[in-house]
Structure 1
């Protein structure tokens, strides 16, 4: 195979489902958040739709891996069933015994109702997930709606997740199904990857397959062409990339070029090799036929059990240069006009950058203060750790003359930092400023009212409801997962949020979790504008 030619351990763009290659884009995380929210709230329907090949299986897999332990789930993979067959399949999935002579709607519904009541009494939840739900017959959809009538005085006993192509949304808009549509508590339309996500997706698969971080196989212009042709559909990206690597190997080249891209388009799409022509056409019919065979390869029975599945691998970020401690003979650094000799002056610059000028007299970074905004003195070892906080900060510096200095950092990327003093800003390479940065910095943030220290599931008080309100806003939902005290739904949502944002998923709500939550809600100025760690 070609993979060893490029220094890879295996072919990175196989169409077979492999959990090691799991890639969760921002929109996939948004979709997962909506599904988890719906499962946490309980009762009614959850709807996930998306075009062929956009990653619905990826989201479903992640849901199954992260669903609470006290949940029993029934998977319907072939919805081309009548109502009796559907109920029988649900009973089979949940391990409900019934006699072959009992296969009537009433008998099967009674058996299911007894099971749901028993599960509820034992503190367990029950979920029914139907894939390819756009193929459900009208009569079957009506029967599914009736299943949500199984309830106690306070809670519906069955949560139903419908997953399908966009035709499912059209089907549910029919007047005859308005009762079902009104019971949908969470819905999400999964869209294809954008250009930046396509680039991250390709790099992610290559790096999982063993490509060194400093090696490039797909130049930017080729990635742009791939995105144009594939419309951001992961399965089509896989097929195109696999064909291009094979062709590049056959020509003894080391980097994919546009000629190889055009050849792959012709071979895969069966069209003329004109990228602009493809951009103007509708490829969904072609995509549907192309991935029909692929779908079999991605059957759900191949999925690993939750205990066996690895954690989703986050898109790779270019490693930032490591911070170097000042040495006796540091490399020459030209004196910068934006270095500030006085710490308080640098903090005032930071407050100005954060539009907090009115708080200047009240902030004292030398005292432990629980007011808002609050000052935090922190230390990291690498630029990448600093970028994870994603807030403008004051950097502590030691100049070549062994003098203490400060810089107000207002923006940065993987190559350079932007520092500010008054109305003047300057872009400085990270490698240059890293020569004199000690790793210490000052961060100013606005904690929620009443927050004093990190808290977790043992805590009960107003912060719980506040946190539930933030997640409800983030997920676009009206109902809260919790109010006065923690429950399993809120704790699970916190851990998912932490995991998707590359934080320690321990359920402890502290500085990093609160900063990231404010960032996702758009309530804070970001340090790194192009941040790939996005979660819904």
Structure 2
């Protein structure tokens, strides 16, 4: 109803699990990484739990779009089935024939086993996904466990992913199901979005739908966070109803009064301003005043000392899986081998939003000569501080950075950034502009964004800060974790909480990236050449598909739509224009990308 009024191509806040609208928060990336880990492990269970509307099904839909062509999938939507009904449904999903009149558990298992062995012989894998798995009966769960006994001498024939609400965790903790629980190789609980992520989530969906202007002021998004508790489905319902009310009133932006009215309609009896999951809702029910005081003290201590990690609650039992929890792993499938050598060149990526500049003529040229790797591997691999090694932890890291004499020099920060690539500028270099970097085979991207954008680009960057007197100071961000980051200043690394970083950073950043062959600027529909070929091959790698054939590849409508889909699921501007940010992200997810990673992903 309001689509034309706001200029949307489609409704931005539908509750359908459309992967194009998936906002890849850190939690959703980790959830997807766990699912992909389960697919690669070729057997065993993967467990993904989360509250109603947290985005489990949408993440799974995103997984389905990235599976290679040699993976067959059986997706069970309604798990309230008997053992026989479940097995027959699996056979139906995989196209396994069986006699209509002779149905038994043994018949179904035998037919399924024969199909899996045949598929394995043809080089195919099989994946069973069960949504709403908290509704599975104990008897059905036991039968599902027995399906993992279908195997060869070397590997399991069936991978199984269970998606469910938190009640599923309680069910699997029962002693009778301990055998199934011990076969779970990876577990992850998808939590709600943070306050910052809610604003990014709303803007992401608006951008995918084609919005041309900001519709939700910051104060309104903050209230949406309180009302929804960070649950994406509730956010969608609130935003959809608020936009409808704004349209009915002939306004251009959502105001607080309209949101309150929308909250009453969506949340029913809940008073606007009280989150569905708000702890205050429960504290008000407390009858004993001293208990409230104790609760307040505990909460204060909890936030002052930092939120403890809950990942240990979901660690897998397998000996190979803990790496999924200790550090980020590649979010996407390992690229297929045998890619065209012409496109295995380099790059990193980005979107046309950034400003590219040339590089200083006095920089030493030739460091990234044609045919070379483009960087000093020894320096690049050892020069990027990650994790907590070598960091100076301080309660006020930005203040420590501000007091450092070297932080006032943008030149020093850019020199540090270049050294992370294993490169050194000449002493007389003029750093007043970010020009001349192309003499090293690199490009410079200067833009204004947020931490989520830096996570997507996944490259170290120089950040610009401003003190209380309006003077600039700089730091080189070399690592970005879930709760903190690492900033390099002079010869020391400083640990900074993300809250402090968000509060003190004005959004300006500069990073270096390595362009693909034949890069001369952003690519639009109708362009061709080596860059179009590079993009086509990289998209094929990301989705696990067969690379395109033919010598001449044109950036046509099909390829443009593929780029738009890639951009929208990565939080980039979904315009189909292949600019620096899109190239950087494509390279980060495929072979031959940057040797550096801001988030600690495994460099390919």
Asked whether the two chains share a fold, i.e. TM above 0.5, the reply is yes
Q: 2:42 matched to which residue of 1? A: 42
Aligned to 1:297: none
Q: Do 2:43 and 2:159's aligned partners in 1 also have CA atoms closer than 8 Å?
A: yes
User: Deviation digits for residues 392-443 of structure 1, max 9, x if unmatched?
Assistant: 5699xxxxxxxxxxx976369xxxxx997899xxx99999x9xxxxx9x879
Is the 8 Å Cα contact of residues 444 and 513 (structure 2) preserved in structure 1? Answer: no
Q: Does the residue aligned with 2:163 lie in a helix, a strand or coil?
A: strand
Q: Distance in 2 between matches of 1:391 and 1:276?
A: 39
Question: 1:383: which partner in 2?
Answer: 447
Instruction: Report the alpha carbon displacement of residue 349 of structure 1 after superposing the two structures with TM.
Output: 8.5
How far apart are residue 57 of structure 1 and its match? 1.2
Task: Report the TM-score when normalising by structure 1.
Answer: 0.62
- Relative distance call for 1:378 and 1:324 in structure 2 (3 A) is closer
1:245 is paired with a residue of what secondary structure? helix
Secondary structure of the corresponding residue to residue 515 of structure 1? coil
Which residue of 233, 257, 260 maps to 2:258?
260
Aligned residues of 1:29 and 1:500 also touching (Cα < 8 A): no
| Cα shift at 1:141 | 0.8
Judged with a 3 Å threshold, the aligned counterparts in structure 2 of structure 1 residues 489 and 100 are, in CA distance, closer, same or farther, namely farther
**TM-aligned CA distance change 1:182 to 1:6, over 3 Å:** same
Match for residue 464 of structure 1?
none
Q: Does 1:504 align with 2:583?
A: no
8 Å CA contact 2:220–2:256 kept in 1: the answer is yes
Do residues 520 (structure 1) and 599 (structure 2) align?
Answer: yes
Deviation digits for residues 351-384 of structure 1, max 9, x if unmatched?
Answer: 5x9999xxxxx97557xxxxxxxx9662236537
The alpha-carbon distance between structure 1 residues 20 and 31, as it changes in their structure 2 partners (threshold 3 A), is closer
Task: Give the aligned partner of residue 313 of structure 2.
Answer: none
Please state whether the residue corresponding to 1:8 is helix, strand or coil.
coil
Question: Counterparts of 1:43 and 1:63 in 2: how far apart (Å)?
Answer: 17
Asked whether the equivalents of residues 192 and 231 of structure 2 are also in contact (C-alpha less than 8 Å), the reply is yes
Confirm or deny that 1:410 pairs with 2:476: yes
Partner of 2:159: 159
Structure 2 vs 1, CA of residues 511 and 99 (structure 1 numbering), >3 Å: closer, same or farther?
A: closer
Deviating more after overlay: 265-274 vs 236-245: 265-274
Deviation of 1:4 (Å): 2.5
Conservation of the 8 A alpha-carbon contact between 2:51 and 2:191: yes
Count of residues paired in the alignment: 390
How far off is 1:156 after superposition? 1.0
CA contact (8 A) 1:126 1:158 kept: yes
Check whether the contact 2:66–2:543 (CA below 8 A) recurs between aligned residues. Answer: no
Gaps spanning 5+ residues in structure 2: where? 283-349, 361-406, 427-438, 465-472, 479-486, 493-503, 518-539, 548-565, 572-581
In the alignment, structure 1 segments of 5+ residues that lack a partner are 283-315, 327-336, 341-345, 357-361, 367-374, 396-406, 413-417, 434-438, 445-453, 455-487, 525-536
* 8 A Cα contact 2:79 2:135, kept in partner: yes
**Structure 1 residues 10, 394: CA separation in 2 closer, same or farther (over 3 Å shift)?**
closer
CA contact (8 A) 2:68 2:544 kept: yes
Distance 1:253 1:171, change over 3 A: same
Deviation at 1:521, TM superposition (A): 2.5
The SS at the match of 2:596 is helix
CA distance in 2, matches of 1:177, 1:49: 17
Mapped partners of 1:124, 1:59: distance in 2: 23
Q: Does 1:202 align with 2:202?
A: yes
Distance 1:318 1:81, change over 3 A: same
Q: What residue number does 1:245 align with?
A: 243
CA contact (8 A) 2:3 2:10 kept: yes
Structure 2 residue aligned with 1:125? 125
Contact 2:130-2:162 within 8 A present in 1 as well:
yes
Return the offset for 1:100. Answer: 2.1
Q: Distance in 2 between matches of 1:149 and 1:193?
A: 38
Contact 1:43 1:157 in 2 (8 A): yes
Summarize the alignment of residues 434-445 of structure 1 with structure 2, pairs less than 5 Å apart: none
Q: What is the CA–CA distance in structure 1 between the aligned matches of 2:589 and 2:458, rounded to whole Å?
A: 18
Residues 338 and 420, structure 1, Cα contact 8 Å, conserved in 2: no
Do residues 103 (structure 1) and 103 (structure 2) align? yes
Q: Distance in 1 between matches of 2:191 and 2:441?
A: 41
